[in-house]
Chains A and B, each alone.
Chain A
Amino acid sequence: MADIDTRLHRKVDEMQDLVLRVEQGVGQVGMQVATVGQQAQETSDRLQQLTRTFETYVLEAQKTANVQRSETRIGVVEAQLEHRYGHYKVVRRVATGMLQGFDVGLISDDTAREVSEQLMMETPRYWLAPVLVALRAWLGDEPDRCERAVQEAYRRSPAKTSLFMALTLRRQGREESSLRWLRHYLAALDPSELGREFAMILESVSQGAFGPAGVALIQERLDAWRTQLLSDESRQQAQVARWRAELERHVAPSSAATYPRLVAVSPQWPMMDAALGRAGAHDNLIRVYSAMAAEAPTPAERLEDQVDDILDLLVRGYDDEELPLRREHAEHQAVVRHGGDLAAARRSLDTELLALDKKLDYLTIQTESALAPDKLGVSRATQRMAVSSCHEWFAQAHAAYSRDYRAALPPDVEAVFEGQHNAAGTVFQLPRWVGSFTQPMEALERSLAEHWDRAAKPFIDGLAYRWGPNLIAPIAVTVVLFICGAATTPMVFLLALLVAGGWGLFLWSQAQAAARRQDEVRGLLERAKQDSLQQLRGAGAEVVDWSNAFKRADGREAEVRTLIADLATVGNAAAPYERRVADAGAQTGA
């Protein structure tokens, strides 16, 4: 029986040995797996980094390719424009030259006839060519020919021809005929689908080019259109939205660099930054639009110059035929300008192309003249007038803009310190701390300091030397030795004393080391706490700065309102040519 017992014991021992070895093996495998896991993690990190780099590279390469493609296309489009419509330029130049020639009477009839007929043949679809023939025929007193030429021009582009004739006749002092053409022109227009050249009419009004009767005629028509179009509220909203987009363009950039501590500790920073940037728009608006309000119109010396300027715009303006190519040209230019970023290019074109678009309603033409005068080719004076007549939309958009960013202000600004905000925070496993800047700074500082102390206490206490457990063994040994000594020889007493003393000394030095370590950690805690408090105080100071900066920027909103009200009146300043008529010199050319 005992035999079996021993054998069983041995077997069990062997078994235990085996289990132990298996456990060791499993442990080793576990370690290896951990190593492999770590390596896999490293590989995956590197792979991710590589992917990121690669993606950036692909993006960059794409952008470069976009830029290159657009640059090539720009060349091609320009060549096409030159090839297809280059001769239009000649017609435009000749038109201007011929008008000037009329003034001074330096062009012979033969030359004018030859050139105009030549151009008529070379540009079969362009409206300006028959107009030149008509001009020449008029000058040469050939009414039949003149009428046929005008009819042909009118067939090619009724609006432009009417406008050209109205302007030219006005220039030559033939007011009555000029008004007839003007009426003709206006009657043919649909206010919800105006061509780009309509901006010229605004230009004429702002320059007083048609004389009082003409301006009254146009004004009457414009008022009727405005009334008609504004009965549709969605059109009005569209204009307000367009002005809102203009306001968004003036938003100041992020001021994160000025408030680094606030950025670091406050989760409300993005909202605060957005509000400050948006309030900053008032400043930019005042700069841009007060310059416009303050400008005095610079009158040209003679009415002919004025009319010539408008004629020039009309004549130089792109023909509708050219628009698709012009649009493509603008698109590619935008891509190049945005460094190949197609999305950004499209965004910028969305507002710009509006001005190139073929058909616009009258209200949009007003807004576009105000916001994108270059695209419509109108002068500064017309832009001023357009801003003035759009002041209501501008004011509405501005009021809503201000309301929106104010409403989006965070009601409370908090400071949040995560456990990892400094090195000691990680060591002490500091929990998250949240405080609101609506509380006084002293209370916040006290709260944060207490939070640190609370979090670090268990750690520091854990480092204290525990005399109790450490004393049990030496006391027990000493007592046993004493008892043994009492039973045997006094020498053992001595030994017991030595052991107790030595052991005590050893324990005391350990306790000293622990106390030193505790002090060190307390020092670390103190430094970390001061660091946090510094950050908190810094952020608090920046909250005050931000609040002042915001109040200052936001306070200018009222100035912008006044400015918009001022702008409403600038467009109504009497135009310099209201009561002027073409001088005698011009009339001799008629």
Chain B
Amino acid sequence: MRPDLRSTAGQNRQLFQPDHRQRRKPRHAGILEAAHRCDAGLDAASRAQLAEWIRAEYESEFGDVPLGLFSLCHLGPPYIDHRLDLWQSILEHYAPADAVPEPFAQARMLVRSGAYEFVEVYASGELRPVLNDGSVV
């Protein structure tokens, strides 16, 4: 049988410098689910717990922790999107007219497209949208 050309693609990934490969690793279902929990009302304690859990996951799995996650809000009007600050455990919901603090503001148009589960916002200003299959752009 002819070897599979495509199978080489998977191997190549492992050859990157570890940090790059690690940072681009698809986000697992646990993180996607955790990001969705922001849509439910959370008290301060469970919010802090959630943020801490996500932070720990990022640290161990991907080696790089974002400032926070920005995603569409499903609480209903007037809110359309929200940010979860992983370091200060702040969960803030925004109406269309509300100003979103930098660097989260840049993620707003990205989540509005509806194509991404959430956008990771890094301190450097870098935005990494995450698709619903967990893959990172």
- What residues on A are CB-neighbors of B102 within 8 Å? none
- What residues on B are CB-neighbors of A112 within 8 Å? none
Could you show 19 A-B contacts with beta carbons less than 8 Å apart? A212-B2, A216-B3, A219-B5, A222-B5, A230-B12, A385-B5, A388-B5, A391-B6, A391-B9, A392-B9, A399-B131, A399-B137, A402-B115, A406-B110, A406-B115, A409-B113, A438-B97, A558-B115, A561-B131
- Closest beta carbon of chain A to B24's beta carbon, Å: 9
Known pairs A222-B8, A227-B8, A227-B12 / 17 extra A-B pairs, C-beta < 8 Å: A215-B3, A220-B3, A222-B5, A389-B9, A391-B6, A392-B12, A400-B137, A403-B137, A406-B110, A408-B109, A409-B109, A409-B113, A411-B109, A554-B113, A557-B115, A571-B6, A572-B6
Per-residue CB contact flags for chain A residues 369-395 toward chain B (1 = under 8 Å, else 0) read 000000000000000010011011000
A407-B127 in contact (CB<8A): yes
What is the total number of residues of chain A having a CB less than 8 Å from a CB of chain B?
40
- Closest beta carbon of chain A to B61's beta carbon, Å: 20
User: Does A524 interact with chain B (Cβ within 8 Å)?
Assistant: no
Top-10 shortest CB links A-B: A399-B137, A409-B109, A230-B12, A219-B3, A406-B113, A231-B15, A389-B5, A403-B137, A392-B9, A223-B8
Bound-complex Cα distance A385 to B4 (A): 11
Q: From A406, A438, A557, give the contact of B109 (CB < 8 A).
A: A406
User: Does A33 interact with chain B (Cβ within 8 Å)?
Assistant: no
- What residues on B are CB-neighbors of A411 within 8 Å? 105, 108-109
Given contacts A233-B16, A233-B20, A403-B137, contact A572 B5 (CB under 8 A): yes
Bound-complex Cα distance A557 to B116 (A): 11
- What residues on B are CB-neighbors of A208 within 8 Å? 2
User: Does B60 interact with chain A (Cβ within 8 Å)?
Assistant: no
Most chain-B Cβ atoms within 10 A of its Cβ — which of A388, A392, A408? A392
User: Does A351 interact with chain B (Cβ within 8 Å)?
Assistant: no
Interface residues on B, range: 20 to 34
Per-residue CB contact flags for chain A residues 83-116 toward chain B (1 = under 8 Å, else 0) read 0000000000000000000000000000000000
- Closest beta carbon of chain B to A270's beta carbon, Å: 16
Bound-complex Cα distance A433 to B61 (A): 52
User: Does A492 interact with chain B (Cβ within 8 Å)?
Assistant: no
User: Does A434 interact with chain B (Cβ within 8 Å)?
Assistant: no
User: Does B89 interact with chain A (Cβ within 8 Å)?
Assistant: no
B98-122: which residues lie under 8 A (CB-CB) from chain A? Answer: 105-110, 112-113, 115
Most chain-B Cβ atoms within 10 A of its Cβ — which of A402, A558, A568, A575? A402
User: Does B66 interact with chain A (Cβ within 8 Å)?
Assistant: no
User: Does B68 interact with chain A (Cβ within 8 Å)?
Assistant: no
B2-A574 in contact (CB<8A): yes
A389-B3 in contact (CB<8A): no
Write the chain B residue with the least CB distance to A216: B3
**Interface of chain A: mostly helix, strand, loop or mixed:** helix
B115-A388 in contact (CB<8A): no
For the A-B complex, the count of residue pairs with Cβ-Cβ distances under 8 Å equals 88
Bound-complex Cα distance A438 to B99 (A): 14
- Closest beta carbon of chain B to A382's beta carbon, Å: 12
User: Does A226 interact with chain B (Cβ within 8 Å)?
Assistant: yes
Write the chain B residue with the least CB distance to A561: B131
Bound-complex Cα distance A389 to B7 (A): 9
- What residues on B are CB-neighbors of A574 within 8 Å? 2
- What residues on B are CB-neighbors of A385 within 8 Å? 5
User: Does B96 interact with chain A (Cβ within 8 Å)?
Assistant: yes
User: Does A526 interact with chain B (Cβ within 8 Å)?
Assistant: no
B5-23: which residues lie under 8 A (CB-CB) from chain A? Answer: 5-6, 8-9, 11-12, 15-17, 20
User: Does A157 interact with chain B (Cβ within 8 Å)?
Assistant: no
B115-A554 in contact (CB<8A): yes
A571-B115 in contact (CB<8A): no
Q: From A219, A223, A561, A568, give the contact of B2 (CB < 8 A).
A: A219
A538-590: which residues lie under 8 A (CB-CB) from chain B? Answer: 554, 557-558, 561, 568-569, 571-572, 574-575, 578
Most chain-A Cβ atoms within 10 A of its Cβ — which of B9, B20, B97? B9
Bound-complex Cα distance A557 to B4 (A): 27
Bound-complex Cα distance A105 to B131 (A): 63
Write the chain B residue with the least CB distance to A389: B5
Q: From B5, B17, B96, B131, give the contact of A233 (CB < 8 A).
A: B17
- What residues on A are CB-neighbors of B1 within 8 Å? 212, 578
- What residues on B are CB-neighbors of A388 within 8 Å? 5-6
- Closest beta carbon of chain B to A39's beta carbon, Å: 53
- What residues on A are CB-neighbors of B110 within 8 Å? 403, 406-407
- Closest beta carbon of chain B to A178's beta carbon, Å: 17
- What residues on B are CB-neighbors of A220 within 8 Å? 3
- Closest beta carbon of chain B to A211's beta carbon, Å: 10
B8-A389 in contact (CB<8A): yes
A223-241: which residues lie under 8 A (CB-CB) from chain B? Answer: 223, 226-227, 230-231, 233, 236
- Closest beta carbon of chain B to A124's beta carbon, Å: 41
A403-B127 in contact (CB<8A): yes
Bound-complex Cα distance A366 to B11 (A): 17
- What residues on B are CB-neighbors of A399 within 8 Å? 131, 135, 137
Bound-complex Cα distance A402 to B96 (A): 23
